[in-house]
A = this chain, B = another copy of it.
């Protein structure tokens, strides 16, 4: 393959001039430009990816930031992002931030260096200040979790309403002692889901009891198990549990079984997300379905619209209550 040096030699100009032509600089004389383009054509020169970045200012790569790939909730969203992005000629790179600021910086710099065109962030732990700084100059879309104070467009569901529907379902089944297994309330979604939980209880004149609310540190199975262990250890046991993710709910279910109790006869259980595993448990898990694939597809569409200079607006998608065996 021909090099940029060979192109410069053939056109009788410097490498910097070839680079300027590739960059569409206006400072290159039309005559020179034609000479360089002729040389490029004759030598069948193909700019490397680096060259392409410089020339078109587009890498056709989108970064997708996730806190952890271990959480299957993100897989389905990513499938939606990918399908849309690929159809429109974009590829994605997955960046696991693991809540590590140093890694955030590296991924942000990939966009600053034009090695990637933009970022779709699904990371609730991301530094909001830095994200908003970056968004002032580069395309960013927030997906699922978002910063409500900033100006960055997002696609999400109405978490408060979804949680309200989940808890109302338990209340309608006759439950009054309903526990909330929530994640860390420094995350917006966790605060909103708690609001929905409290709203439903208040609407039916059921007191909000602190002893029925448990906040986990992380969002793994074990966190769900630990939460349920605490809730079962107290004298006043709940008869139903709303866990804010299916992974937490599956840990809760495991602990109920381990304690010799049955779902839903002894304790009813509802999760959140509708990950594929939620249908594989025994009994199957009642849950709030998030339109994960659609959410990802929408985020990708918004990103590409933004890259094409179109104006975009935040989108709130519909959730759905999926009643199965655990309630």
Q: A residues near B, CB below 8 A? A: 14-16, 19, 48-50, 53-54, 68-70, 72, 74-76, 78-79, 82, 86, 91-96, 98, 100, 103, 106, 109-110, 112-115, 220-221, 250-251, 253-254, 257, 276-277, 279-282
Contact = CB atoms under 8 A, between A and B. Distances in A.
A110 B63 CA distance: 14
A221 B16 contact: no
A47 to B, nearest CB: 10
B70 A96 contact: no
Copies of the protein in its oligomer: 2
A214 B275 CA distance: 26
Given A48-B113, A50-B113, A91-B106, A82 B70 contact: no
At the interface, is chain A mostly helix, strand, loop or mixed?
A: helix
Task: With a 10 A CB-CB cut-off, give which of A70, A82, A100, A250 has the most chain B CB atoms.
Answer: A70
Contacts of A79: 70
Contacts of A281: 281-282
Contacts of A68: 75
Nearest to A98: B82
B82 A96 contact: yes
Given A49-B110, A50-B115, A254 B276 contact: no
Contacts of A280: 221, 250-251, 254
A75 B70 contact: yes
18 contacts: A16-B16, A16-B19, A49-B113, A50-B53, A50-B54, A50-B113, A50-B115, A69-B74, A69-B75, A70-B75, A70-B79, A78-B96, A86-B100, A91-B106, A93-B93, A93-B94, A220-B276, A221-B277
Given A14-B14, A95-B94, A257 B276 contact: no
A15 B14 CA distance: 10
A206 B60 CA distance: 56
B49 A109 contact: yes
Contacts of A279: 221
Contacts of A92: 96
Contacts of A254: 280, 282
A79 B71 CA distance: 13
Contacts of A94: 69, 93-96
Task: With a 10 A CB-CB cut-off, give which of A70, A112, A115, A280 has the most chain B CB atoms.
Answer: A280
Contact of A91 (B70, B103, B251): B103
Contacts of A109: 49
A50 B50 contact: yes
Contacts of A115: 49-50, 115
Given A15-B16, A82-B96, 8 more contacts: A48-B112, A70-B72, A78-B96, A82-B98, A94-B94, A94-B95, A221-B280, A250-B280
